[in-house]
């Protein structure tokens, strides 16, 4: 009888511990290296086709750099600007251009935060409606052109990203 009570107690503890510790380990969707490299390359190519030499940085959903590409004639400082644009997207959850238009009131303050810059040219990367990363482009004459190059790459990858999100 005593043994049955111990076994029952152990079983109950095991059942309830799953609920208690269930949040200790979780999975998240995030951008993979291959997709990040492809988005970076497509963004560089899109700008190149328009006659612009740019740098592209792709970050994951946490702002970690996944891919960096600088076109042959792009200025070296465009890499940092592209990364800061991508970081703003991760912070804001929307394109850097949309954020800039909506929050011009705090632009100066955010530009003083290390790793951020409020300039057009950063675009979110979604898969299955989930933010999995961001791409920042810098070097074209105007942020709207940077953003257009990133948008070409995101559009080209959209079906692949949606398919991957269902796996």
Per-residue pLDDT tens over the stretch 43-70: 999 999 999 999 999 999 999 999 999 9
Question: What are the tens digits of pLDDT across the range 153-164?
Answer: 999 999 999 888
Residue 118, domain member (yes or no): yes
For residue 94, give its domain range: 33-165
Residue 14, domain member (yes or no): no
CA–CA gap between residue 144 and residue 121 (Å, rounded): 6
pTM of the model: 0.85
Question: Does pLDDT of 141 surpass 90?
Answer: yes
DSSP bridge partners of 136: 57, 122
Question: Does pLDDT of 10 surpass 70?
Answer: no
Residue 123, domain member (yes or no): yes
Tally of domains in the chain: 1
Question: What are the tens digits of pLDDT across the range 105-129?
Answer: 999 999 999 999 999 999 999 999 9
pLDDT score for 163: 86
144 Cβ contact list (under 8 Å, min separation 6): 97, 120
Residue 17, domain member (yes or no): no
Residue 2, domain member (yes or no): no
Q: Quickly state the pLDDT bin for 25 (edges 50, 70, 90).
A: confident
Question: Mapping DSSP to helix (H, G, I), strand (E, B) and coil, where does residue 92 land?
Answer: helix
Residue 4, domain member (yes or no): no
Give me the helix-helix angle, 33-49 and 143-165, nearest 10°: 150
Residue 54 CA, distance from chain mean position = 19
Residue 23, domain member (yes or no): no
Residue 12, domain member (yes or no): no
Compute φ and ψ for 134, nearest 5 degrees: -155, 155
The CATH number for 87's domain is 3.30.450.150
């Amino acid at each position: 009888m005593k043994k049955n009570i111990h076994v029952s107690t152990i079983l109950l503890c095991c059942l309830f511990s799953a609920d208690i510790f269930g949040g200790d380990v979780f999975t998240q969707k995030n951008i993979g290296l291959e997709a990040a490299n492809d988005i970076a390359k497509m963004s560089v190519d899109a700008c190149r086709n328009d006659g612009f030499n740019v740098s592209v940085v792709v970050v994951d959903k946490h702002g970690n750099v996944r891919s960096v590409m600088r076109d042959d004639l792009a200025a070296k400082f465009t890499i940092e600007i592209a990364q800061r644009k991508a970081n703003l997207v991760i912070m804001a959850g929307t394109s850097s251009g949309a954020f800039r238009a909506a929050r011009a009131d705090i632009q100066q303050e955010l530009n003083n935060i290390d790793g951020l810059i409020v300039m057009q040219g950063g675009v979110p990367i979604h898969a299955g409606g989930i933010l999995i990363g961001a791409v920042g482009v810098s070097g074209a004459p105007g942020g709207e052109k940077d953003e257009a190059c990133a948008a070409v790459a995101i559009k080209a990858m959209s079906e692949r990203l949606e398919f991957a999100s269902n796996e």
